[in-house]
Amino acid sequence: MDQDLSGNVQVERILVYSFLKNCHYCAFKKELDSLKSEVMVPQPKTFLCDEFDDGELQTDGNRTGRFQNGEPSSVVDEDIFQVIGAQLALIGDQVAREINQGVVNDLMQQFVNENLSKEELMRRLSNTVERLMQTVPLEMEQEKAMLVLSMVLARTVANKMPSLLHRVFTTTVNYISQNLHNYVINMGQQN
C-alpha cells in the first residue's frame, strides 16, 4: 500500500508531516527535516480541466474536469492539510497525556522489530489505536479520534527513538490512507 507521492497518500503525508512538525518538543527534528523533501512535492495549484472547460460552474454546482481512477484529478492544496495537521497537533498534545506509556513502549518495540512486514506493523498500529479508543476518553467523533491517536502514537514513538521516524511515518500514513482517507479528504473540503 506504500503508494507514491502522486497517489492518494499525498494528503496523508502532508497531514502527518504537519502534525509532527507542530510538536512542541520533538527529539526527531533532524529526521523530520530529512522527510520534508519526500513529503512536500511542488505541484501546480490548478484544477486539471478538459480542453472544453471554460471554468464555469455546471448546473449541479461543480466544475467540469477529468477523472482518473474514478476520482477528480484536482491537485492537493497542501496549505489546507498543513493547517489541519497543526490544529490536530494541538488536540494531540492533550490526548498524549491520556495515553499509558506502557502502550507506547509496546508499540515502539514492534517498530524496532525489523522482521515485521509493513502490513504487520500497520495491523499492530491499528490494534493499538483500537485499544486506545476503548480506554482513552475522547470527546470527538470516532474517525477524528482514530486520526489523532494514530498520529500521537507516531509522534510519541519517534520522540522516544528518533531513528524510527521514517518507519513510523510511513506506517502511520498508510494506516490513515487505508482507514481514514475519505474522512481526511472531507476535512480538507470543509476548510
pLDDT tens-digit series, residues 91-148: 999 999 999 999 999 999 999 999 999 999 999 999 999 999 998 888 999 999 999 9
Query: Smallest Cα–Cα separation from 146: which of 159, 136, 156, 155?
Result: 136
pLDDT at 17: 96
Question: If pLDDT is split at 50, 70 and 90, which confidence band does 41 have?
Answer: low
Q: Percentage of residues in the chain with pLDDT exceeding 90?
A: 64
Q: For residues 114 and 152, is the Cβ–Cβ distance under 8 A?
A: no
Query: Smallest Cα–Cα separation from 179: which of 132, 113, 127?
Result: 127
pLDDT at 75: 55
Q: Region 34-42: what's the mean pLDDT?
A: 75
How confident is the model over 78-97, as pLDDT tens digits? Answer: 899 999 999 999 999 999 99
On average, the pLDDT of the chain sits at 82
pTM of the model: 0.79
pLDDT at 170: 96
Domain boundaries, the chain: 10-43+76-190
Asked if residue 2 has pLDDT above 50, the reply is no
Q: What are the Cα distances from residue 124, in Å, to 127, 156, 188?
A: 5, 16, 27
Q: Region 8-20: what's the mean pLDDT?
A: 90
Q: How far apart are CA 48 and CA 68, in angstroms?
A: 11
More confident residue, 51 or 141: 141
Q: Please give the radius of gyration of the chain, using alpha carbons only, rounded to the nearest integer.
A: 18
Q: How far apart are CA 183 and CA 153, in angstroms?
A: 19
Q: How far apart are CA 49 and CA 67, in angstroms?
A: 9
What CATH topology corresponds to 10-43+76-190? Apoptosis Regulator Bcl-x (1.10.437)
**Residue 57: strand pairing partners:** 63
Q: How far apart are CA 128 and CA 124, in angstroms?
A: 6
Q: For residues 163 and 32, is the Cβ–Cβ distance under 8 A?
A: no
Q: How far apart are CA 146 and CA 181, in angstroms?
A: 12
pLDDT at 87: 96
Q: Region 4-21: what's the mean pLDDT?
A: 79
Structure-block grid coordinates of residue 30: 533532524
Q: How far apart are CA 180 and CA 59, in angstroms?
A: 31
